[in-house]
Structure 1
């Protein structure tokens, strides 16, 4: 631990400084330093995808080993990852080991074994729910088995929710500047992201199915994509839809 500071000192220094951060890069740099002080070599800040939706557009900050992140995305490991699936099911922070015990499938055990090869042996995950209904999480990783008591884990929890809160503010400011879709178009696309058909969305919003289809056509044109699935991915990447 740097400078002999306590966990509380480390986190409260971050909390005090966080309001002054003016960019996502500043948050990333400070979070990386403080996570390292707590014994975590890597972390990821990400939204949690709806069923059959990709994870990559939802990733906000990522200090995962590059090779591992590329493999995780290309093999769609979130689908079998016991950590990610546990984050979807709870609002309580948890050690990776608690979720890994439930990863009984061969594919889950294989994935966790590969993660260890990249230095992701153990970790601590903080699920985060917001008023918008989006789920997200910050997951910290260590190359060693965790030996952290309640105070250490509480410090990591506070670090995570403080960083996430600042990111929401910073990204919200950026998104207000660059939004291209109308509020109704974003609303229609949000329901499409949730897997609703044009007819189902029309019933939910009390508008005609033809109007929903027109809105989706406009969304695809504005985002310069060929289909609605691509539109959802681009909208998440550019901030038209919020992954939290």
Structure 2
């Protein structure tokens, strides 16, 4: 996806203030990879009981029948995707989680999901403004994803969660957040998808210095990784 197009779609997510608009905007990006459904919810520190998990849904565009069945039958307890989200900081394909923890229960679970048009998908660990861990899943019947695609979806997912939880948050400036000019430069280049080594070449800084700026940015913006950092920067109005 072209960078300018992606940034425009992110703006739609950032400006969304209702569940329908958030789902519509996110799925405009996801549909390019065969992902046609989205479900996002908050997770406690351990696999939740079904009623509690259902009450923690932030937004969803999931097949209704499968959503009800998933919770009613307690599949959350045996879902290898949920177990992996609880210990991961990066997005991954459902099929990778299943391959990493094969079981008859998982086979039955995802066999049933396929009946509802969810042959595969991607799960992305997300974090609310308060730091609570959640999961955002995107699924579809024919999914085509690269690692780069998943990294782009991580940014979109984090922004969608921020929009769901803080649609009225005020924009801030780099100075308000205590960012130095060099840190702001590193943030902008990170949003362009550049690696630390790329940024070092572009700015004339040492790679270690760029890494230090990245750590400082994550601390100041309360971000857990690079994708979350870009999300927080975009949400704060630092990136356009």
Paired position in structure 1 for 2:204: none
Alignment correspondent of 1:74: 72
The alpha carbon displacement at 1:75 in A equals 0.4
RMSD: 2.3
Deviation at 1:29, TM superposition (A): 2.3
Q: TM-score, normalised by structure 1?
A: 0.61
Aligned to 2:27: 32
User: Structure 1's 100 and 169: CA in aligned 2 closer, same or farther, altered over 3 A?
Assistant: same
1:165 is matched with which residue? 162
Specify whether residues 67 and 172 from structure 1 end up closer, same or farther in structure 2 by C-alpha distance, changes over 3 A only.
farther
Q: Which residue of 1 aligns with 2:152?
A: 155
Could you say if the C-alpha distance between residues 20 and 104 of structure 1 is closer, same or farther in structure 2, counting changes exceeding 3 Å?
closer
In 2, are the aligned partners of 1:124 and 1:141 still within 8 Å (CA)? yes
1:137 offset after TM fit, Å? 1.3
Whole-Å Cα distance in 1 between the matches of residues 22 and 129 of structure 2?
22
Which residue of 2 is the match for residue 121 of structure 1? 119
Structure 1 residue ranges (4+ consecutive) displaced by more than 4 angstroms after TM superposition: none
Q: Distance in 2 between matches of 1:64 and 1:135?
A: 20
- Matched-pair contact (CA < 8 Å) for 2:14–2:159: no
Structure label with greater radius of gyration: 1
> What runs of 5+ residues in structure 1 fail to find an aligned partner?
1-5, 174-244
3-state secondary structure, aligned to 1:101? helix
Question: Compared with structure 1, are the counterparts of its residues 154 and 141 closer, same or farther at alpha carbon in structure 2 (3 Å cutoff)?
Answer: same
State how far apart, in whole Å, the 2-side matches of 1:46 and 1:66 are: 15
Q: Deviations over 1:51-107 (max 9, x none)?
A: 453310011111111111111011011100111111111112111111011332221
